[in-house]
Structure 1
């Protein structure tokens, strides 16, 4: 998971990638799912990571925003967010 770093502590999910850092309160998260489309279903989503053809996508829907995380380890990331 080079570059994309996910941490969860004190009810905050922190996502870091390159110069981007996003903190999402777990109380704001509505759904965490996998997406098999290349660019993601939601056009207004914030995309984090490098979208390669073989990269999987984890979608985090919050009350205000949708985030698409491009990763090679989607199961681990989803599990970490939902734990």
Structure 2
């Protein structure tokens, strides 16, 4: 699925996030939480940031056992739907 420059795909055992030239693979069993972050820069200071942080973008925080990822997107509902499917 392509939205706001971020491509999110869920395979059998991993979540793949592509943005620009980066490809991040997250094993599904490592994901501990998926939530909306309503702050501008994100509450998680050590999170890997993916996307462009414009004032009008939504922020999705994906927490894993070892790392957090903050996705900046204009279509959070589609991305969350892919992650939760």
- Same topology, TM > 0.5: yes
Give 1:2 deviation, angstroms.
3.6
SS of 1:78's partner is helix
SS of 1:5's partner is strand
TM-score with structure 2 length normalisation? 0.94
| Alpha-carbon RMSD | 0.7
Aligned residues: 83
Structure 1 residue ranges, 4+ long, deviating more than 2 angstroms after superposition: none
In 2, the alpha carbon distance for the partners of 1:75 and 1:2 equals 12
Query: Residue deviations 1:3-53, cap 9 Å, x none?
Result: 210000121100000011100011000000111100000110000001100
Gaps of 5+ in 1: none
Establish whether residue 76 from structure 1 lines up as the match of residue 78 from structure 2: yes
